[in-house]
């Protein structure tokens, strides 16, 4: 377990609150782990020293998929293969005068064998983590919820028909 974060950095908002729409990748490895980024521990960024997903702000004139592809090249030196739209979270920041922004999530699966070819370009660390480890680490809250949804979406849907055992048939 890592040392506790500098709580002062966590609750010290950036000098200028600058909210943008963002595009993010839920990167899973072929063995079920999630590739995560440990954010820098410095003032002026949202959720310093927390694990988060790779991605970032959507530039003016850019669509969400183009943005996440650009961010993956910048942050991991990764030219992503097929991306699948997963979900979008919408945030209402009107209470602080920052309007409404969205965070769009895409799914991407890569082979574990490709990890050594990635190069971290932003953050302190990249590491594949088992889903159960994500429950005990400091995670960016909205990314935590996206991972929870992702795991839930991969669970088989309950059958409406009772199984033979449930009907008492051996």
Q: How far apart are CA 115 and CA 35, in angstroms?
A: 9
Residue 69 falls within a domain, yes or no? yes
Q: Are strands 34-38 and 125-129 parallel, antiparallel or unpaired?
A: antiparallel
Mean pLDDT of the region 157-162: 61
Which of 37, 36, 48 is CA-nearest to residue 12? 48
- Domain membership flag for residue 150: yes
pLDDT tier for residue 164 given thresholds of 50, 70 and 90: low
What pLDDT is recorded for position 93? 83
pLDDT tens sequence across 6-28: 555 555 555 666 788 999 999 99
> Rounded to whole angstroms, how far apart are CA atoms 29 and 61?
31
For residue 120, being part of any structural domain is answered with yes
Q: Provide φ and ψ at 75, rounded to 5°.
A: -90, -25
Whether 88 has a pLDDT exceeding 80, the answer reads: yes
Q: Is residue 41 part of a domain?
A: yes
Q: Which domain holds residue 112?
A: 7-154
Question: Residue 65: pLDDT above 80?
Answer: yes
- Residue 89's SS3 state is strand
Alpha helices by DSSP H, listed for the chain, are 7-10, 64-76, 131-134, 141-154
Domain count, the chain: 1
Q: What is the CATH number of the domain that holds 66?
A: 3.90.79.10
Cα–Cα nearest to 37, from 136, 29, 48, 103? 48
Distance CA 46, CA 35 (A): 19
Q: What is the mean pLDDT of residues 21-40?
A: 96
| Residue 160 located in a structural domain | no
Task: Say what the pTM is.
Answer: 0.82
115 within domain boundaries: yes
- Name 147's Cβ contacts closer than 8 Å, sequence gap at least 6: 26, 34, 53, 131, 134, 139
Give residue for tokens 């055992």: 165
CB-based contact 103:4 (threshold 8 Å): no
Residue 143 lies in a domain: yes
Of 93, 97, 6, 21, nearest to 55 (Cα)?
21
Is 62 within a domain? yes
């Amino acid at each position: 377990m890592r040392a506790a974060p500098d709580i002062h950095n966590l609750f010290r908002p950036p000098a200028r609150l600058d909210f943008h729409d963002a595009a993010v990748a839920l990167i899973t490895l072929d063995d079920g782990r999630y590739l995560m980024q440990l954010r820098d521990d410095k003032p002026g960024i949202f959720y310093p020293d927390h694990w988060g997903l790779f991605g970032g702000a959507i530039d003016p004139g850019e669509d969400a998929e183009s943005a996440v592809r650009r961010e993956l090249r910048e942050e991991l030196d990764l030219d992503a293969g097929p991306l699948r739209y997963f979900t979008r979270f919408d945030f209402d920041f009107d209470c602080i005068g920052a309007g409404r922004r969205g965070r769009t999530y895409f799914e991407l699966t890569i082979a574990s064998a490709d990890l050594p070819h990635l190069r971290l370009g932003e953050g302190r660390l990249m590491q594949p983590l088992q889903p159960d480890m994500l429950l005990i680490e400091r995670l960016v809250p909205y990314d935590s919820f996206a991972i929870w949804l992702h795991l839930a979406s991969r669970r088989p849907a309950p059958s409406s028909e009772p199984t033979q055992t449930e009907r008492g048939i051996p």
